[in-house]
Amino acid sequence: MKRKNNDTRLLPPAGLGERLRRDVLLNWRLYVLLLPGVVSLVLFKLFPVAGMVIAFQDFSAFRGITGSTWVGLENFQRMFTDKYMLTLISNTVIIAILSIVCVFPIPIIFALLLNEERSRVVKNSVQSLSFLPYFISSAVMVSILATMLNPSTGIVNVIIRHFGGDAVNFMARPEWFRPLYILLQIWQTFGYNAIIYIAGITAINPELYEAAEVDGCQRWGKMIHVTIPGISTSIITMLIISIGQIFTVQTERIILMYNPSNAATSDVIQSYVYRIAFQSLGFPDYSYGTAVNLVKSVLAFILVIIANKLADRFAETRVF
């Protein structure tokens, strides 16, 4: 195989099409293996993006995209004049920022601490246990939380009462909504996200640790001067991905945790879009919901570009 590659290099320079043809001929087995993934990507990821065109239509499920009326930027105008939109954007952004500030560092810290554990049995057990909540559905997770925080029978309030305090209906307090949401987010994702960092740590050359030891580094020193720089590329990549998802809150979790009492902090763009598109009284406004989502995606894309540029400039690493 290597020889053939070298042979290819010896050929006179060719155009992109020709090079691609040769590459396909040469590595056709790999391309066949790639095919299902590409088809899946095109069918289920790229093709549906074209459906966002309904943001510029008065979409009718019966008429479809080709038969629906075009309304230009009407849905976007409506969005920017919607008096409720400011509250929704503010709630969404606050939750998103809290998610990055509070949730993002936890798997890194967890991976670093787990790396310091010497017992392989303990290490593997802890990693497996931390991974499990990722597979619990949001509905079950919110139910567990609601049961634990039940003002009458929940364990938390039983303890509060035991120490002479008054029961608190945490699920109904607007000031408690964000901490609880973030807590669930951490609980559900920290074990899963830590895998990326644990994999990165495993790939660090052990000679670097030995060199650090020679230079007099203790555990903290090795962590700060070897481990963290060793996984910095993964950290930045994950940070950029997180910024890309800044407006993407967990809609089903929000809807499950939403109630009239905590609406001041829990009503976000997605829950509003859900109401407009799927819970309206006979007029599901798919076009408006898509328009809101499109604006959200464009803003997230701009943020990703900025984060990528900043990462390139200050950390000399980037995703694209």
Partner 1 sequence: MKRKVTAISLAILLALLMVLVGCSKEETPASSSKASASTSTAVAADTSTQDEPRTYSWFLRSQFITWLRDLKWYDVAEERTGIHVDYVEGPLELNDTFNEVDQRLASGTLPDGTMLRLAQAKVYGAQGAFVDLRPYIEKYAPNIQAYLDANPDYERLISSDDGAIYAMIRESPVLADFIGYRADHFRAVGIDPAEVTTVEDLTEAMRALKAYYGKDNPNYYPFSGRENAPTRFAYLFDAASYADAEGSSGIYYSHEKDYSFDIKAPRAYEWIQTIKTWYDEGLINPSWIDGTNTEGDWESQMLSGNASLFLDFYNRAEWFMTNGGPDNDPDFDMQVLPWLVDDEGNILKQTSALLWRSDNAVAINASCDEETIRTILEFIDYFYSEEGMILANWGVEGESFKTNEDGSREFIVDYTAEESKPEGTKKWSFLSDRQTVCKPVDQEAFYAWNTPLIAEAASRYLVPEALLARPVLVYTTEQEQELSNLVASVYNAELAGLTGFIVGNTPLNEETWNAFVEQMDALGLQRIEDIQYEAYKTTFGL
Nearer to partner 1, 64 or 229 (CB): 64
Which range touches partner 1 (CB under 8 A), out of 8-16, 198-206, 258-266, 291-299?
258-266
Q: Which of residues 23-62 bind partner 1 (CB under 8 A)?
A: 29, 32-33, 35-36, 39-40, 43-44, 60-62
Nearer to partner 1, 81 or 218 (CB): 81
Nearer to partner 1, 100 or 167 (CB): 167
Coil/strand/helix, residue 248: coil
**Cβ atoms 56, 266 nearer than 8 A:** no
Q: Which of residues 81-120 bind partner 1 (CB under 8 A)?
A: 82-84
Question: How far is the C-alpha of 312 from the C-alpha of 306, rounded, in Å?
Answer: 10
Distances from the Cα of 166 to the Cαs of 70, 88, 151, 160, 253, in angstroms?
57, 32, 9, 7, 27
Candidates 4, 279, 302, 309: give the one binding partner 1 (CB under 8 A): 279
Per-residue interface string for the shown chain with partner 1, residues 160-189, x marking contact by CB under 8 A: -x-----x-x-xxxx---------------
The H or E element that residue 58 is part of is strand 57-58
Q: Could you tell me which of 199, 204, 207 has the C-alpha nearest to residue 230?
A: 204
Beta-bridge mates of residue 69: 58
Question: How far is the C-alpha of 2 from the C-alpha of 13, rounded, in Å?
Answer: 19
Site size toward partner 1, by CB under 8 A = 46
Asked if 76 touches partner 1 (CB under 8 A), the answer is no
Nearer to partner 1, 167 or 196 (CB): 167
Beta-bridge mates of residue 57: 70
Residue 245, phi then psi, degrees to nearest 5: -100, 20
Q: Which amino acid is at 256?
A: L
Binding site for partner 1 (CB under 8 A): 29, 32-33, 35-36, 39-40, 43-44, 60-64, 82-84, 146, 151-153, 161, 167, 169, 171-174, 259-261, 263-264, 267, 272, 275-276, 278-285, 288
